[in-house]
A and B are shown apart, each in its own frame.
Chain A
Amino acid sequence: KAGVTQTPRYLIKTRGQQVTLSCSPISGHRSVSWYQQTPGQGLQFLFEYFSETQRNKGNFPGRFSGRQFSNSRSEMNVSTLELGDSALYLCASRADRGQGEAFFGQGTRLTVV
């Protein structure tokens, strides 16, 4: 069974640009969550999607958005990039059951210059 796949692995963007990150969950998993990891703030929850609906959202500005497609693949978008958006962005997928383990992808390393 393939794991969670995130693309691209690395990105370099300029301040003010926008970026889209992609996440393909494990087959059969309908829940996809996104986390931002930085040295200063650690791992912070961005949002969670289930069956194409955003169910939960963390405390991030509106520049951070996401969506989920009918095949459960998810994208997150960051507009008007700031230097502070440089981070490792991790995607996690879970099975439907509430006790299901969250499986993480390898992440996308975003650098804003």
Chain B
Amino acid sequence: AQSVTQLDSQVPVFEEAPVELRCNYSSSVSVYLFWYVQYPNQGLQLLLKYLSGSTLVKGINGFEAEFNKSQTSFHLRKPSVHISDTAEYFCAVSDPFGSGGSNYKLTFGKGTLLTVNP
């Protein structure tokens, strides 16, 4: 079974500082990888996704992530954060070759709360 580990439950940073949110997954097969953001009392919004191709993926709001197959990691980065980036961030994985609809199932990490302080 797939699993996702987000190494930091909370990450406090100052405004305009760079940030990296770490994500590792366990899977012996090909995977699709995603980062979602959740603002308070809201659903999840997709930041970016890796399906195939270039290992550096750019997403919305200035975020990017790098897929590293050898280290089974998919860390999220932003060079300069804003107060408005304060939210919870979730890394997720799915099996692109799963049958019976299992390829539509997302397995999530526990989330990382990013707090941007002035």
Contacts and interface: CB of A to CB of B under 8 A. Distances in A.
A58 to B, nearest CB: 8
Given A42-B108, A55-B100, A109-B41, 9 more contacts: A6-B43, A42-B111, A43-B108, A55-B101, A55-B104, A90-B43, A101-B46, A102-B104, A106-B41
Interface residues of B, number: 26
Name the prevailing secondary structure of the A interface residues: strand
Given A90-B43, A90-B44, A107-B43, A42 B109 contact: yes
28 contacts: A33-B105, A33-B106, A35-B108, A42-B108, A43-B90, A43-B111, A44-B108, A45-B106, A45-B107, A48-B101, A48-B104, A48-B105, A50-B101, A55-B100, A55-B102, A55-B104, A56-B104, A56-B105, A90-B43, A94-B104, A99-B32, A102-B34, A102-B46, A102-B104, A102-B106, A104-B44, A105-B43, A109-B41
A4 interface: yes
Contacts, number: 66
A31 interface: yes
Nearest to B6: A42
B102 A56 contact: yes
B28 interface: no
Contact size range, A: 20 to 34
